[in-house]
Chain A
């Protein structure tokens, strides 16, 4: 049998459409069964949860800064009232990223 461009084109065409056909059936089935809508709701809830998590972190940061300001003001006040500055409890130090934690030792 002669391998002509026409034959190769036909083979490629049948092959490509053969790959597409199961996708059509799968897609239509998902569409009819409501799986697509289910997935949409799920995706949107993921986006919503992400936005909520970001909002929570932001609110925490704002509140932490307010507490820091308050603590700093208290320290100034204590020193002004005559408390020795070197007797003040130490300002908390942020844990270094990657430093061993209690969990690592366990």
Chain B
């Protein structure tokens, strides 16, 4: 049984590439959240939506990333769906600030961030639809 051997020698289970990529996506969302919560994006976030909402956006992203990273490794799809909703909320919460800042015309690079955030939201939706049928990943 390939699964048993894989389980013994590797810490990420099948489908390994997908789970690893998803794990990375959650870690990155968590990092982005920490950055936002720590006030690391003063012009884009703190300047447009204020320090309180910046911390809120960052906390939501960080919390979702942490829950998602744990859930994808252990194969708890119900927890990962929750994490996807939280991370998705975090990304969506970034949109008003990004759109507002982009509309000010100070930096055209922010449109790139808007595009990336929408890409992230689409990816979250894709993953959600893919795992939206079971409580547990049956391969784990």
Contacts and interface: CB of A to CB of B under 8 A. Distances in A.
B57 to A, nearest CB: 7
Nearest to A24: B82
A23 B93 CA distance: 19
A19 interface: yes
A92 interface: no
A8 B56 CA distance: 13
B96 interface: yes
Given A23-B82, A27-B79, A36-B78, A10 B135 contact: no
Interface string A59-96: 00000000000000000000000000000000000000
B114 to A, nearest CB: 13
A62 B85 CA distance: 50
B81 A6 contact: no
Given A19-B85, A20-B85, A23-B81, A9 B135 contact: no
Interface in B22-74: 48-50, 53, 56-57, 60
B53 A17 contact: no
Contacts of A31: 78, 135
A19 B83 CA distance: 12
B12 to A, nearest CB: 19
B117 interface: no
B82 A20 contact: yes
A35 interface: yes
Interface in A22-48: 23-24, 26-27, 30-31, 35-37, 39-40, 43-44, 47
Contacts of A47: 138
B85 A27 contact: no
A30 B100 contact: no
B48 A5 contact: yes
A10 B82 contact: no
A36 B96 contact: no
B92 interface: yes
B60 A44 contact: no
Contact of B93 (A4, A16, A19): A16
Interface of A: 4-6, 8-10, 12-13, 15-17, 19-20, 23-24, 26-27, 30-31, 35-37, 39-40, 43-44, 47
